[in-house]
Amino acid sequence: MSYGKRKNPMDEIFEEINEIIQGMLDSRIKPDKEPHVWGFSITQIGDQPPEIHEFGKMNLKDSRFIEADVQGESGTRKPLIDIMEAEDTLHVVVEMPGVVKENIILDSNGTTLDIKASSENRKYSEHVELPAMVLPDSAKASYNNGVLEVVFQYDGLNKKSIKLD
């Protein structure tokens, strides 16, 4: 007896994850001097469909894994970025192994953060849209073990109280 099975939205995600894992297992990657890094994140907000974002050196294309041109035409990589909102501060954490802090350039206008870094073997560049207005002059940045952390204070001038009716 069939009850008209409705497909669970998570089934598609799990099918895609299984394809990704199978592709990794089936791939014939030649050993290289650098490790192959690849990953993905899944974000779902409310009733919106989930978004899957890939990062790293591999791409899923035509249901097969192939070596991706992660460095693009200019040789620039996109780093993995995590943004965390605390009560009074906004934290931007960026994974950029293989560079020294003297070669990292950060610029912010209060709504975005531009990140550039380079070394002999690696080059990173990313434009980050911040989820809230911040005070660029309040930024404190540290770089340790390949991880950059930038902490901003929120721009309190744009904050408004909202009264409930």
Q: Last residue of a domain, which of 68, 91, 107?
A: 68
Of all residues in the chain, what percent carry a pLDDT higher than 90? 39
| One domain for residues 55 and 103 | no
Please count the residues of the chain: 165
Question: Mean of the pLDDT values across residues 157-161?
Answer: 61
- Per-residue pLDDT band at 58 (split at 50, 70, 90): low
| One domain for residues 111 and 53 | no
Round to whole Å and give the CA distance between 13 and 23: 15
Asked if residue 161 is part of any domain, the answer here is: no
pTM above 0.85, yes or no: no
| One domain for residues 81 and 56 | no
Q: Is the pLDDT of residue 122 over 50?
A: yes
| One domain for residues 82 and 55 | no
Q: Going by C-beta distance under 8 Å and a sequence separation of 6 or more, which residues neighbour residue 38? A: 24, 54, 55, 56, 57, 58
When divided into structural domains, the chain yields a total of: 2
Tokens, residue 146? 């390949």
Domain region containing 42: 1-68
| One domain for residues 90 and 30 | no
- Per-residue pLDDT band at 4 (split at 50, 70, 90): low
Asked if residue 164 is part of any domain, the answer here is: no
Distances in whole angstroms, Cα of residue 80 to Cα of each of 42, 77, 125, 146, 161? 14, 10, 11, 11, 34
Question: Mean of the pLDDT values across residues 65-82?
Answer: 63
Give the long-range contacts of residues 29-32, CB within 8 A, separation 24 or more: 29/65, 29/67
Question: Mean of the pLDDT values across residues 103-120?
Answer: 94
Q: Last residue of a domain, which of 68, 92, 107?
A: 68
- Mean residue pLDDT of the chain comes to 79
| One domain for residues 13 and 28 | yes
pLDDT on residue 15: 86
| One domain for residues 96 and 118 | yes
pLDDT on residue 156: 77
Round to whole Å and give the CA distance between 65 and 83: 29
CATH classification of the domain holding 151 = 2.60.40.790
Asked if residue 165 is part of any domain, the answer here is: no
| One domain for residues 61 and 81 | no
| One domain for residues 79 and 147 | yes
